[in-house]
Structure 1
């Protein structure tokens, strides 16, 4: 087993240069034929010029399936499910120094049956290994969600492992079922000379397999600068891992494998549960549902909300409403902050979630915190929009100004409980985002919300809607009084702990 694991791990190490077969070249069309099971695998290569390269599954002169990309390849032909019928893994590479690979697995039945499509980002292939000692082989890939993250360069970045299991006739992401494998992978990242990617993988693995508290305790024993770095970004990492290992739960519950989705994990219906609250795009639109494990399966709850879907120029679904953050409450249950952009401005709305429905929280400290950050986010959105590189008519410029004036009017009351003499010019606030939300105090009469935020202001040099900002800890103190919950004060404190001291 150790030898197999180590072999699988080597497949996941980041490649700092594109592989040899992905180098740019100019060549005439080249066709290569190979056999896999009862099919001919036909590869047509055209270098980096049009048309796209193409790999096809052909039988009796009929093309049953094909993959097209800037470059294509056949990764393997073997029986990985154990049913006596071989599978073929086809790869597409989009071109570029590091990205991007997509892998498609077909069972070569008659006709071929697609078992998996996996976006592998910077990793060239999937490894077929036996991790649970029985049945079909698992496919081991990589999750590159942390590439370039938290101040790292790509050379420092490292992926998390991803394990696909053959369940109910298809391969689905099932990494959380293999904590020992995740631990072995993390230990392999521990070297005599620590690097940020390896440290992050170890921290993230502990978050997923042991919980955030265990991960934070481990991080406190690290040498600098990694201890301060994870103290700075740990809450963000934990938030960004919310959906790790859960993304395929809608598929396991019957949603289309390629359906666009966005969700967060948490203990929503009861403490100690593991659930996935996700918006999934279907034929008739998108719906928000709670997905839960049940008897070895994953089941979908009733539709909690119908969500509008728009499409960008390439036809990609854009969700105007989506789960954003799970916030742990004093009783051990999570509430959900839902991001809502239907009005044209970003709002964050807190909900108590159950299998039966959503209940918006109103007279609640999380609701008040959500309104504060929503109003500041809206101001930043409208301030930044003034610098968008578009030609506007006088009427359009007036409308931009009207929206900014309205957003500032809504946000101005929040400046009253602003603690200390902090300069916070609303009309220059061009960047206000948050990465994590924690209620560090949550009683019947007192509450404290702590958020990691990025705050930036425009100045005379601003010439783009992308306004840079600095990281701060936003602390909001709240108290329940005769008229309900109120913000007593809030503060912004600079966060420290960057890898390179900036």
Structure 2
């Protein structure tokens, strides 16, 4: 039996209160503030802190023994959160925190076992939460660490004050702490709000809905939405597909670690039932040097195992904690048989296209004569055009030369010519003369195959749509939400779009 943690309010951890403005920069001849040093002991090690407020250099906390420094953490501010044996091996662990110095963000936590030499057990980006809390949740063995997931901070019209983190349970496995949240459904459910009224915060409602999705209760999640006060019901109805997509990898992103990948390797991916209905799997890209490798990670006999490489792609940006590739899995799409296909954004050739794939444990197969593949062509052409239009804003520093302006316009013209044939099947009277040359924002996060038959299909997705004008001064253009519905049929020449519509999507928590 696990020991129930305190209610969800526990997750609203103490946030550092910082001044809203920083002191003016010192003149070059003004002396720096003195660095404050202090020490404390944990196990056989001395923890040495060098702190000087928010001045250069960064603060630092180091693990020192016998005059040698074995490890250190540096940031705008640092702290020692706790020293205790959480793994149960008789050797204490120490949790070090780094704080970047914002109004309430961001914290990064590093856990060391104080062996000789120390072993790093965890690096966790805690965002707005200032600590990790050890608790015994399964009644045996090492303690679990309770953390928080802030993926819905500021989401869907919420202020930060309303935002609620999702709980995260980190378990000790294979010599390190990994996200094992989905193994503790009782803990997650125990943190839900007990009663929702019209005065309940939107963040609490969102977190409860997401929690039901996390513990594998989509039917209960939908029933929960239907019983909500009207403003919450319409709001979650508006953003439901995006929320479900955002929860796709919850509790699964550490599966590569559990399969033996070094926890220092950057990674990203999607959860789904790729090889068959009802199977929980993780399609993960893991960085290594200047490339990233895609594998399917599966549960087998209580362990997580990695399949063979499905694809290797170049990494555009090599950083310890961030993986940037030109080939990125974007969304899973549930098919009529219960398995998931995956939609990928592919920029390896310099341009951009969306590509649909079928995934098996040993193979990645591009879909061609398929309704999802045809829809991907429509989405790719509109998204590419919008990015070129958005990038054409005039107020740049330094100003664009005449040759640069001509090249921007050439790219818009090429993209508009490629997208124009799709207008022949657009069936939205108010947008029939859609001004392609001004399409400045066309983005989406999720899509559903609402009809998936042998000769007929329908794809529906929320999109954000907006147009540029002479006053546009940024490539980031706010837009309105629409439901894009694509109707497809299979004929003698294969699958083709019969019509597509754009209809305004309603349901904001706070109307402008």
Task: Give 1:472's aligned residue.
Answer: 482
Q: For the residues of structure 2 that align with 1:189 and 1:172, how far apart are their CA atoms?
A: 32
Task: Give 1:13's aligned residue.
Answer: 12
Q: How big is the shift at 1:393?
A: 3.4
SS for the counterpart of 1:64 is strand
Q: For the residues of structure 2 that align with 1:284 and 1:272, how far apart are their CA atoms?
A: 35
Query: For the structure 1 residues 296 and 229, does the alpha-carbon distance in structure 2 shift closer, same or farther, using more than 3 Å as the test?
Result: same
2:90 paired residue among 74, 84, 95: 84
Q: How big is the shift at 1:216?
A: 1.7
Tell me, yes or no, if structure 1 residue 454 matches structure 2 residue 464: yes
Q: How big is the shift at 1:189?
A: 8.3
Q: For the residues of structure 1 that align with 2:20 and 2:410, how far apart are their CA atoms?
A: 51
Q: How big is the shift at 1:27?
A: 5.7
Q: Alpha-carbon deviations, 1:32-52, whole Å to 9, x = none? A: 111100011111111000111
SS for the counterpart of 1:145 is coil
Q: Alpha-carbon deviations, 1:177-211, whole Å to 9, x = none? A: 10000001113685794111110110001111133
Number of residue pairs the alignment of both structures matches: 500
Tell me, yes or no, if structure 1 residue 29 matches structure 2 residue 39: no
Query: For the structure 1 residues 315 and 501, does the alpha-carbon distance in structure 2 shift closer, same or farther, using more than 3 Å as the test?
Result: closer
Q: How big is the shift at 1:337?
A: 0.3
Query: What are the within-5 Å matches in structure 2 for residues 490-501 of structure 1?
Result: 490-501=500-511
Q: How big is the shift at 1:348?
A: 1.1
Q: For the residues of structure 2 that align with 1:425 and 1:397, how far apart are their CA atoms?
A: 20
1:22–1:93 contact (8 Å) kept in structure 2: no
Task: Give 2:27's aligned residue.
Answer: none
Tell me, yes or no, if structure 1 residue 404 matches structure 2 residue 412: yes
SS for the counterpart of 1:225 is helix
Query: For the structure 1 residues 364 and 74, does the alpha-carbon distance in structure 2 shift closer, same or farther, using more than 3 Å as the test?
Result: same
Farther-moved stretch of structure 1 (94-103 vs 296-305): 296-305
Q: For the residues of structure 2 that align with 1:395 and 1:192, how far apart are their CA atoms?
A: 57
Q: Alpha-carbon deviations, 1:408-453, whole Å to 9, x = none? A: 1111110001114223110000000012100111000111100110
2:245 paired residue among 217, 239, 253: 239
Q: How big is the shift at 1:496?
A: 0.6
Task: Give 1:414's aligned residue.
Answer: 422
1:88–1:108 contact (8 Å) kept in structure 2: yes
Task: Give 2:28's aligned residue.
Answer: none
Task: Give 2:443's aligned residue.
Answer: 433
1:45–1:54 contact (8 Å) kept in structure 2: yes
Q: How big is the shift at 1:109?
A: 0.4
Q: For the residues of structure 2 that align with 1:406 and 1:219, how far apart are their CA atoms?
A: 44
Q: How big is the shift at 1:346?
A: 2.9
2:290–2:318 contact (8 Å) kept in structure 1: no
Q: Alpha-carbon deviations, 1:118-148, whole Å to 9, x = none? A: 0000000000000011000000010000000
Task: Give 2:492's aligned residue.
Answer: 482
Task: Give 2:202's aligned residue.
Answer: 196
Q: For the residues of structure 1 that align with 2:319 and 2:296, how far apart are their CA atoms?
A: 30
Gaps of 5+ in 1: none
Task: Give 1:138's aligned residue.
Answer: 144
Task: Give 2:107's aligned residue.
Answer: 101
Farther-moved stretch of structure 1 (370-379 vs 210-219): 210-219
Q: How big is the shift at 1:482?
A: 1.3
1:441–1:449 contact (8 Å) kept in structure 2: yes
Q: How big is the shift at 1:224?
A: 2.2
Task: Give 2:155's aligned residue.
Answer: 149
1:394 paired residue among 389, 393, 402: 402
Q: For the residues of structure 1 that align with 2:4 and 2:213, how far apart are their CA atoms?
A: 25
Q: For the residues of structure 2 that align with 1:188 and 1:106, how far apart are their CA atoms?
A: 37
Q: How big is the shift at 1:392?
A: 3.3
Farther-moved stretch of structure 1 (209-218 vs 163-172): 209-218
Q: Alpha-carbon deviations, 1:33-83, whole Å to 9, x = none? A: 111000111111110001111111100000111000111110000000000
Q: So what's the TM-score if we normalise by structure 1?
A: 0.95
Query: For the structure 1 residues 296 and 370, does the alpha-carbon distance in structure 2 shift closer, same or farther, using more than 3 Å as the test?
Result: same
Query: For the structure 1 residues 247 and 316, does the alpha-carbon distance in structure 2 shift closer, same or farther, using more than 3 Å as the test?
Result: closer
Q: How big is the shift at 1:345?
A: 3.3
2:264 paired residue among 251, 258, 262: 258
Q: How big is the shift at 1:213?
A: 3.3
Q: How big is the shift at 1:14?
A: 5.2
Query: What are the within-5 Å matches in structure 2 for residues 297-376 of structure 1?
Result: 297-311=303-317, 317-376=323-382
Query: What are the within-5 Å matches in structure 2 for residues 36-185 of structure 1?
Result: 36-185=42-191
Q: So what's the TM-score if we normalise by structure 2?
A: 0.93
Gaps of 5+ in 2: 24-31
Query: For the structure 1 residues 191 and 108, does the alpha-carbon distance in structure 2 shift closer, same or farther, using more than 3 Å as the test?
Result: farther
